[in-house]
Each structure stands twice: as structure tokens, then as C-alpha cells.
Structure 1
Amino acid sequence: MRPLAVLAVAWAAASGPVRAEPPLSAIDWLSDSVTDPAVRTVPPALSPGPGTETIEVQPLAGISVDAVGLLPAQVTGLPRDLWGPGRPEEIARAIRAERVDTLPAVQALLLTLLLAELDPPAAMRPGEDGLVLLARLDKLLDLGALDQAQALVERAGPTDPELFRRWFDISLLTGQEDRACAAMRLTPDVAPTFPTRVFCLARRGDWNAAALTLETARALGYVTDEEDALLARFLDPELAEIGEPLPAPSRPSPLIFRMREAVGEPLGTVTLPLAFARSDLRTNAGWKARIEAAERLARTGALAPNQLLGIWTERKPAASGGMWGRVAALQEFDVAMIAGQPGPVAAALAPAWEAMLAAELEMPFAQLYGARLARLGLPGEAGALAFRIGLMTEEYEAVALAREPVSDEERLLIGIATGATEGLEPPDALGAALIEGFTASAPGPAEARLLAEARLGEAILSAIDLITDGARGNLGEVTRALALMRRLGLESVARQSALQLMLLERRG
């Protein structure tokens, strides 16, 4: 792996699943934390404070930031020249257009693509370097994958204003605002806006400078009335105590979100973009908020199943019904699995699984327990359910080979898992579309053109679009997606996607 810059930042000593409308993309809610470098209307940087160590940036000349990644080719299995001769702006547009509410196998493929270490598009022109990286970062933020996004931008070196803007907001949402402010003071190419400057001066303890900066911003008209009211309370705790509650903002940025928290008027994250849920994973958040945030992040693969399990089992639920009923069912099942006795496991499995289905948390549950469940040899309905859950794990093929089918549906599931679908009778229209996807040899004309032009990355993005649309009822696109995935060498992704279409309630 070849880092493009080394950024050493020292701490400063004195410093549910169904939505009525699409969620906001990252570019809609990022803070206006830095100004356009072409039009600087504020001082270029916050002055360093005493005890602040230097930031060291060592860019490697001649290397594109779009080549930055966290996963090398030997881990992803993707070729370095995946983007081929594609146009950076078209690739960036396609990445930003990807939906995050799709099949878990597709979410995992998208996450791998976003984190992969790849050569930049061969057709890149002067001034286009970084377009693909910014799109990748924004999609990681849409997925709620803040830790991965932070690691990616730090590997690139957040010295460019747009990269710094994203890194600053990630730091705010992960509770590292002092580190972000220290870096801002020491990055000469980044000019903070007035609200950011006031925030960072106050975080550093320089209240007089912060108040003077706010007065200057008012006089010059560089803060809105809403920003002025919030900043005034941020600087004066007494004003926050005696004043009427501020109206809730319609599109809060991470900077507003963090200042609202500081003045004692925190905003709930349930209705905010997914990235904001990351702040509720902090230990100072209540257990209910931590559970809700962990479940939201686990649905997109941004949170590891073991982290979700750790939060689920922190304590015993004090109430019943809804989320608490789900937690109680999960805890009872987890205890049964620890004991390893088939009888208690079989009794606790159905209630736990129903709770996971209702919350669309089947995949984290399967990843936690599916392989062990399949090896328990449960009888009857519990065994059939354990088989289906086992098919949603990385060991899906071994689980399928160990099962003697008892229905046409199970025969199709086993055929898909093992790649042997020829001669199988489809039980319904979805089954027919899946079988055709594993027997079709030619991709559609649009996909064929991408393949012929060696634009393999865009072909993968097209396959993600097709399977996501297909899961909503267009079975013809399911067939095209599976055929394209297999043509691209993504056999395992194709099989897991097909299995998930049969096993999960993600259609319609």
C-alpha cells in the first residue's frame, strides 16, 4: 500500500429502514467549515497556540490522491486498473448515485470498492485529481462508515480544502473536535469560516478572541441570524440557561450538531443522516440511543456485528415491547448459544429471528450465529430455519452441501449456493430470474460496452444499480445483474445476492 501523504497531528495542550423520502447525501449536510480558497474573506488560519506541535505533511510528487485506498489488491481481488479509461467526473457521479439501502452482499461490494487501492482513471485531465476520492468519501459518509472515511482521508492527507472539510466534520461526529481545531490552526492552505473560527477559539479556551471574532462576523454580515444565536449561547452559558430553546434546524451540519450539544440543546440522531448516528456510540450516550445508532449502522455494514452484539448485551432491558423485546429475545438466544444445547437453542431461535426480520437485522444476526447454528444439527422447523440462516454467512456453500433438501425451494437455494442451477425447476418468477442469471452468458448492451472499453469499475457500479433496482421488482434487471457479476468474476457476490433475494424481505 502506497500512502500519498503522511499527516502527523498532535493534540494541542492549550487548545428503520423504510423512508418516506431519500436520505440527504453527505454533500447536503457537510459544514461550511472552510472558505473557497479562491475567495478568502477571513484570515487564512487560526494562529497557533502555545504548546502546539507542528503538523508534518510529506506529499509524494506525481502520485494521484485518487489512488489512495485502505485495501490492497491482494485483499480485494480487484485489478489495480479497475477504472480503465473512464472519465473521473462520470465515475464520481456514478459512485454518488449508488443507494445504500440495498442487499447486504451489494453493500459489502460497494464498501470494498470505496476502500480499494486502485490506479486513478487513465483519462484523467489536469484539475480532475481528487474527484473520485471525494465521491468515495461522500458515499462512505452516506453509509455511516466514518472510521473508514477518516482513515482514507488521513492517508491522502487532508490539506486540500474539500478534503479538510470532510475530515473536520468526521472529527466532530467522532468526538475529536479539539484535534480537528488544532490541525486547522496549523494547515496554511485551509481558511476557516467565521463560525468555525469562533468554535475553535472557544474550544481552545480563548474566549475573548472568540467573542471578538463573533462581533467582527456580525459587523461584516458573515454569520446568519441562526448562527449568531447559537454562537452567542455557545460563548455565554448563562444566555443558554435563561433563553428560550432555539428552533430545531432543518438541515444541521456536524458543526451545528456539536454546538447544540454543547449548549444543552442536543439534537436526536434518529431522523438525521446516518453519519450522525456515530456520535451516539460514545459511552456517554444512553443505552437506548446507543442501540438505535448501532442498529442503523449495522444495516449498512458500517458497524461490525460483534460491536452490535456488545451493545445489545450491555445490560438487561428494563422495559418490554418494541426495541426492548428485540433485545430481550436476542439476549435469551445468545445465552442458549453460549450453552450450546440444541433444545434451548431451538426454542429461542424463532422469536429471535422474527425480531431480527422485523428490524432488518438478519445479516448481522446470521454473521454472528449462522455458521454455529448450521453445525448444531437442529431438527424439524428449527433445523430448516438454521439452514436458511447459515446460507447468509460466508460459509454458505458448505452449509448447502451439508443439507438434504426437503422442498423445491431448498433445492434451488442449494443450487444457487453451489453454482449448480441447471435443470432446476423454479418455484416462482423470482426463481426463474435467478436461474436465468446463472445460465445467461451475454451481458446487456450497455454493460457489454463498459466491458469492451475495459471500464470494469463502472461495470461493477452498473451491476450494483441493476441488482438494487431488481430487488424492487424488476426481475429482468436481476438476471442482467447476476450475469454481469459473473462475467466480472464476482461469482461469490452473485451467489450471495441471489440467496439474499430469496431469503430476505427486500423486494417491492
Structure 2
Amino acid sequence: MRIKALFCALFCPLALVTTPVPAQSFDSDAPLSAPGWLSDTITRPHANIATTAAPQTITVMPLGQVRLDAVGILPFSTTGLPPDLWADSPPETLARLMLSQPAEGLPAMLGFTQQLALAELDPPRDAGTDAALFIARLDLLLARGALAPARALMERAGPADPRIFRRWFDVSLLTGQADRACAAMRASPDIAPTFPARIFCLARSGDWPAAALSLGTGEALGYITPDEADLIARFLDPELFEGDPLPPLPAEMTPLHYQMLISLGERPPSTALPLAFAHADLSNLAGWRAQLDAAERLMRAGAIAPEEWLAIYTARVPAASGGVWDRVAALQAFDAALLAGDPAAITRRLPDVWAAMRQAGLEVPFATLYADRLLRMPLTGEAAILARRVGLLSPLYEAVAQAAVAQDGPEQRLFAIARGEDPGAAPAGSATAAVAVATAFADTTPPERFTRLLNLGRTGEALLRAARTLGNGGGDMDDMADALRLFRALGLEDTARRAALQIMILERG
């Protein structure tokens, strides 16, 4: 039976006598709101809505209940962070600081704040049961498109909480696991799906009549907007609308809308959508150009591994020129020269590929992939200096500084920073960032502006504030110097050195 006919047979009379009920919204994430692009998948209100304005004095929890704020996938043995890092900071303050971190910026800070989001740490002492910090950690990862670690964190916690399930469902949609998401929804009695989510999953399971019935019911009761009903109807039976123009794209695209449009062969470009949607363009179905754009965006945010980005960059031979195609061609030519072990070819190719990587903001992933092999090549002159610059942006930065002899003043200062030594005063006329780094490495005592927080047991809060200051690689000189000093004073030397080297070499500020 044609679905449109089924709609009318079941619901046309009903629509004449039914008064639409306004669609309800159950957003319990306020005042820390969820990402606006999440799909509306859960109908029941979450369990953490306040029932009184009186301050809480006692928190009662059943024995054995998981405290979400304590859930992490990186143990102390991996991070080296003290378990009481959050200690006496207000959970809402930590959550807001977590969400205020930039989605792109200095790679050292992106890596550090992602580590904080994934770390297994004791909850703040004043944490209740609303798990505000845990949800903020998840939303930081989602804002950066770091879907794999976000999914691992959610699966460690268990997606029983509706707020977690909502995010897990969307991550599953964006990473090609829609059937798994729908199976989990069906198997979770505590999860009541909205009409659009229910219809989508019924259709995925092949139960078209039930999907059509749900669409008619939801539309008649006012739980599905006319535009959304039009999209769902096309998703259920696209042949009925063949030749008709597509309805306008949703003002705020959700993964559920996105998946329906993809199934209709109308994949919207992800470049104008939040980073999380770029994962859908990593598959071969999206086309190589879309894959390249998505891989670059996600790599700049630290959301995928450098190896995944490289695999897409080297998948084919570019058949066009300009923009991303020139970057791909430059990297492939350099990669071939390095594989051949040809110093002359490497010397020719290195400046071009480095310029291409700087244009795309991908210097650090490039260094991570190639520094080790590049530094073993017998290069001389400018090529050797550039190879050492690449090495200083890689995990081998300290070994580079220990093994090489600095050729000029700037390189000498970079080597001192890589070794954790005082680089000396920045030359007159130096950029603000250079002065800030020189100041930070001349003094390792905790900066006064953070001392009060440290004395109050709010170390994690201080680190989040410092990370936000350094996040974009530029800013006020004193603020940057104090932020770097804090990392060094707390023993986070590797983070401080990487950040300082990236500030100096990348010159993003």
C-alpha cells in the first residue's frame, strides 16, 4: 500500500476533529543548554529537574550508583592528573569553563582540554546528582567533533540517562551506526522516543505501516511540525514526491534530519554545519572532495587521528588544482620523496608542503606524522632548519633540541624552551607572544592571579581558565605568561613546552 494513501485513510478524518497540541520541549540542561543541533529524540523530562528553590544540604544516593561526574576513560596512570583536581570548585563553574573552551585553536590546548574531558577524576565535593560537569565534558567533545572519544565516554557511563542517550543516539547517526542506535532505543524501557525518532527507527527496521501510523498520529497531535512531516513523508516514500521540489532545509539541522536527507540522495554540505556533522562526510559515499574538507576541519579541531587525515589525503591523485587540491598534491609529492629517501627531492618538496600545511592550519599533525623520518634525512641549509622546526612541533621536540646545534638566535631560544630552560629576554620589538613565553620560562613560581584558586583547592578550575587564555595562541601578554607559568608550576611541563613552541612557531595570535 502506498504510504500517502495510508496516511489519508487513517488520519484525514481525524485531522478534521482534532485540536493540535503544541509540541512540548523537555530541555533539562538549562541553565547550561545542550548543543542546539541535537535531535529531539527523548519525550520524557529528565530526572534532574529541580522541585524546589531551597538550597540542597544533603545528597542521598543508592549504594553502588554511578556518579557520572567521576566517569572517565583515562585513568591517573595515563594522565598523571591528581584525582582531586576538581575538589572545591563549584560544578556549574567548571561546566561553564569547560564549555567556554574554543573548538579550534592551539593544538596543545586542544589536547590538554580533551584530556581533562576524558580523565577519570573525583567529582567536585559539592556535586549533586545532575552531573552538570559530565554533560559539559561531553558537549565539549561534541562541539569539537570528537565523536569517537565522546561515544567511548558515554558507553563507559552507560546511556541510561536520557541526556546521555540523546547525545549517544546522535553520535551513532553521524558515525554510520543508525541501526545500533535504534536497537538500543527499542531495548531501553526507560527511553521514550519522540515521534520523529520512533518513525525513523520503525522505517529502519522495515515496519513501514507502523512508521506511517506514527507520522499521522504525531502530525495530528501537533508533535510534528508541517515542515518536519513533509521531510519524514518523503523519507518514508520518496517515489510519491518524485519531481516535487524539496522542502526548505530545517533552520537548525539535526543529525536525524541529516540522515533522512542523505537517504533521499540530498546530502547537505557539512561545511556550513557544526563540526560533528563532518564525520558523515568521511565515508566514501560523500565523494573525495567532501572527505578532504571534512578531514581538514576535524583535524584542525584534533577530532581525528593524524593517520586518518593522511589516509584521506593520499587516497587518490588530485585531478584538479587550487585550494585543497594543491595541498593534497604538495603533500603527496613530499610523501613520495620521503618514501624514496631522496634528500634532494625532499629539499625541493619540503618548503612547498610546509607552506600548504600552514595555509590549512595543519602544521602540528604534519609534524606528528613526518618529523621522525624527516629528521633522519641528511639535509643541509634551509631545509635542515625547516626540518628542525617541524621536529619542534612534534612529540620529539626535546630530542631535537638536545641533539642539534642552534644556527641563530631564534633557533637558540626555541631550543631553550624545548629543554625547559630560560630562553632569555625577548629581543626588542618582538611579538607579544614571544615576550609572554620568555617571561613564563624565566619564572616557575605560581602566578599571583591563580594563587587564590590553588589555595582554595580549585586547581582544575585554574587550569581551565589558563587553557582558555592560551586557547587561540594569542592575547594579552601578561595573561599568556601567567597561564604558561601555571602549567609549569603544577608540573605540566610537557603541556607548557608544547604550547610555548606552538605559540612561537605557528604565530596564530
Give TM class, smaller chain: 0.7 to 0.9
Deviation, structure 1 residue 425 = 4.8
Which stretch of the first structure deviates more once superposed, 428-437 or 455-464? 428-437
Deviation, structure 1 residue 424 = 5.0
**Cα root mean square deviation, aligned:** 1.8
Deviation, structure 1 residue 412 = 0.8
- Preserved contact between residue 33 and residue 192 of structure 1 (Cα < 8 Å): yes
Looking at structure 1, the residues matched to 173 and 444 of structure 2 have their Cα atoms a distance apart, in angstroms, of 49
1:242-253 alignment runs, 5 A limit:
242-253=243-254
Q: Does 1:401 align with 2:402?
A: yes
Which stretch of the first structure deviates more once superposed, 425-434 or 446-455? 425-434
In the TM superposition, what whole-angstrom CA distance separates every residue of 1:382-434 from its partner, at most 9, and x where no partner exists? 11111111100111011012222222111111111111215455361432221
- Could you tell me which residue of structure 2 aligns to residue 312 of structure 1? 313
Q: Are residues 434 and 262 of structure 1, via their aligned partners in 2, closer, same or farther at CA, if it must alter by over 3 Å?
A: same
- Preserved contact between residue 86 and residue 455 of structure 1 (Cα < 8 Å): yes
1:253-402 alignment runs, 5 A limit:
253-402=254-403
- Could you tell me which residue of structure 1 aligns to residue 13 of structure 2? none
In the TM superposition, what whole-angstrom CA distance separates every residue of 1:111-143 from its partner, at most 9, and x where no partner exists? 111111111112223x33x21111111111111
Query: For 1:120, which of 123, 127, 139 is the aligned residue?
Result: 123
- Could you tell me which residue of structure 1 aligns to residue 8 of structure 2? none
- Preserved contact between residue 414 and residue 423 of structure 2 (Cα < 8 Å): no
- Could you tell me which residue of structure 1 aligns to residue 36 of structure 2? 28
Partner-residue secondary structure (3-state), 1:33: coil
- Could you tell me which residue of structure 2 aligns to residue 92 of structure 1? 95
Looking at structure 2, the residues matched to 118 and 300 of structure 1 have their Cα atoms a distance apart, in angstroms, of 24
Q: Could you tell me which amino acid in structure 2 is paired with residue 384 of structure 1? A: I
Q: Could you tell me which amino acid in structure 1 is paired with residue 281 of structure 2? A: D
Q: Could you tell me which amino acid in structure 2 is paired with residue 62 of structure 1? A: Q
Sequence identity (%): 51
In the TM superposition, what whole-angstrom CA distance separates every residue of 1:436-464 from its partner, at most 9, and x where no partner exists? 11123444444212211122211210110
Looking at structure 1, the residues matched to 325 and 423 of structure 2 have their Cα atoms a distance apart, in angstroms, of 45
- Could you tell me which residue of structure 1 aligns to residue 86 of structure 2? 83
In the TM superposition, what whole-angstrom CA distance separates every residue of 1:129-160 from its partner, at most 9, and x where no partner exists? x2111111111111111011111101101011
- Preserved contact between residue 469 and residue 475 of structure 2 (Cα < 8 Å): no
Looking at structure 2, the residues matched to 216 and 199 of structure 1 have their Cα atoms a distance apart, in angstroms, of 14
Which stretch of the first structure deviates more once superposed, 199-208 or 234-243? 234-243
Which stretch of the first structure deviates more once superposed, 152-161 or 400-409? 400-409
Looking at structure 1, the residues matched to 486 and 235 of structure 2 have their Cα atoms a distance apart, in angstroms, of 54
Q: Could you tell me which amino acid in structure 1 is paired with residue 165 of structure 2? A: F
- Could you tell me which residue of structure 2 aligns to residue 490 of structure 1? 492
Q: Could you tell me which amino acid in structure 1 is paired with residue 69 of structure 2? A: D
Looking at structure 2, the residues matched to 329 and 162 of structure 1 have their Cα atoms a distance apart, in angstroms, of 44
Gaps of 5+ in 2: 1-32, 48-61
In the TM superposition, what whole-angstrom CA distance separates every residue of 1:257-311 from its partner, at most 9, and x where no partner exists? 1111112222110111000001111232211111111111111111111111111
- Report how many aligned residue pairs link the two structures: 461
Q: Are residues 107 and 275 of structure 1, via their aligned partners in 2, closer, same or farther at CA, if it must alter by over 3 Å?
A: same
1:63-78 alignment runs, 5 A limit:
63-78=66-81
Which stretch of the first structure deviates more once superposed, 417-426 or 295-304? 417-426
- Preserved contact between residue 106 and residue 499 of structure 2 (Cα < 8 Å): yes
- Could you tell me which residue of structure 1 aligns to residue 57 of structure 2? none
- Could you tell me which residue of structure 2 aligns to residue 474 of structure 1? 476
- Could you tell me which residue of structure 2 aligns to residue 37 of structure 1? 45
Q: Are residues 185 and 248 of structure 1, via their aligned partners in 2, closer, same or farther at CA, if it must alter by over 3 Å?
A: same
In the TM superposition, what whole-angstrom CA distance separates every residue of 1:224-276 from its partner, at most 9, and x where no partner exists? 11111101111112134232122122320100111111122221101110000
- Could you tell me which residue of structure 1 aligns to residue 503 of structure 2? 501
- Preserved contact between residue 85 and residue 122 of structure 1 (Cα < 8 Å): yes
Q: Could you tell me which amino acid in structure 2 is paired with residue 431 of structure 1? A: A
Looking at structure 2, the residues matched to 240 and 402 of structure 1 have their Cα atoms a distance apart, in angstroms, of 68
Looking at structure 1, the residues matched to 241 and 171 of structure 2 have their Cα atoms a distance apart, in angstroms, of 26
Looking at structure 1, the residues matched to 123 and 137 of structure 2 have their Cα atoms a distance apart, in angstroms, of 13
- Preserved contact between residue 412 and residue 426 of structure 1 (Cα < 8 Å): no
Q: Could you tell me which amino acid in structure 2 is paired with residue 68 of structure 1? A: V
Looking at structure 2, the residues matched to 432 and 144 of structure 1 have their Cα atoms a distance apart, in angstroms, of 33
Gaps of 5+ in 1: 1-24, 40-58
Q: Are residues 203 and 397 of structure 1, via their aligned partners in 2, closer, same or farther at CA, if it must alter by over 3 Å?
A: same
Q: Does 1:170 align with 2:167?
A: no
Q: Are residues 184 and 404 of structure 1, via their aligned partners in 2, closer, same or farther at CA, if it must alter by over 3 Å?
A: same
- Could you tell me which residue of structure 2 aligns to residue 53 of structure 1? none
Looking at structure 2, the residues matched to 293 and 137 of structure 1 have their Cα atoms a distance apart, in angstroms, of 21
Partner-residue secondary structure (3-state), 1:28: coil
- Could you tell me which residue of structure 2 aligns to residue 418 of structure 1? 419
Partner-residue secondary structure (3-state), 1:284: helix
Partner-residue secondary structure (3-state), 2:85: coil
Looking at structure 2, the residues matched to 431 and 164 of structure 1 have their Cα atoms a distance apart, in angstroms, of 45
- Could you tell me which residue of structure 1 aligns to residue 159 of structure 2? 158
- When normalised by structure 2's length, the TM-score is 0.87
Q: Are residues 453 and 268 of structure 1, via their aligned partners in 2, closer, same or farther at CA, if it must alter by over 3 Å?
A: same
- Preserved contact between residue 26 and residue 142 of structure 1 (Cα < 8 Å): no
Which stretch of the first structure deviates more once superposed, 340-349 or 29-38? 29-38
Deviation, structure 1 residue 488 = 1.6
Q: Are residues 310 and 66 of structure 1, via their aligned partners in 2, closer, same or farther at CA, if it must alter by over 3 Å?
A: same
- Could you tell me which residue of structure 2 aligns to residue 17 of structure 1? none
Looking at structure 1, the residues matched to 382 and 250 of structure 2 have their Cα atoms a distance apart, in angstroms, of 50
Looking at structure 2, the residues matched to 439 and 256 of structure 1 have their Cα atoms a distance apart, in angstroms, of 54
Looking at structure 2, the residues matched to 80 and 63 of structure 1 have their Cα atoms a distance apart, in angstroms, of 17
Looking at structure 2, the residues matched to 362 and 211 of structure 1 have their Cα atoms a distance apart, in angstroms, of 51
Partner-residue secondary structure (3-state), 2:273: coil
Q: Does 1:107 align with 2:115?
A: no
Looking at structure 2, the residues matched to 82 and 104 of structure 1 have their Cα atoms a distance apart, in angstroms, of 22
Q: Could you tell me which amino acid in structure 1 is paired with residue 36 of structure 2? A: D
Looking at structure 1, the residues matched to 360 and 248 of structure 2 have their Cα atoms a distance apart, in angstroms, of 31
Looking at structure 2, the residues matched to 362 and 462 of structure 1 have their Cα atoms a distance apart, in angstroms, of 26
Partner-residue secondary structure (3-state), 1:325: helix
- Preserved contact between residue 26 and residue 139 of structure 1 (Cα < 8 Å): no
- Preserved contact between residue 281 and residue 294 of structure 2 (Cα < 8 Å): yes
- Could you tell me which residue of structure 2 aligns to residue 148 of structure 1? 149
Partner-residue secondary structure (3-state), 1:191: coil
- When normalised by structure 1's length, the TM-score is 0.87
Looking at structure 2, the residues matched to 434 and 481 of structure 1 have their Cα atoms a distance apart, in angstroms, of 10
Partner-residue secondary structure (3-state), 1:29: coil
Looking at structure 1, the residues matched to 248 and 274 of structure 2 have their Cα atoms a distance apart, in angstroms, of 19
Q: Could you tell me which amino acid in structure 2 is paired with residue 432 of structure 1? A: V
Q: Are residues 495 and 38 of structure 1, via their aligned partners in 2, closer, same or farther at CA, if it must alter by over 3 Å?
A: closer
- Preserved contact between residue 46 and residue 162 of structure 2 (Cα < 8 Å): no
Query: For 1:61, which of 58, 64, 77 is the aligned residue?
Result: 64
- Preserved contact between residue 413 and residue 424 of structure 2 (Cα < 8 Å): no
Looking at structure 2, the residues matched to 160 and 433 of structure 1 have their Cα atoms a distance apart, in angstroms, of 44
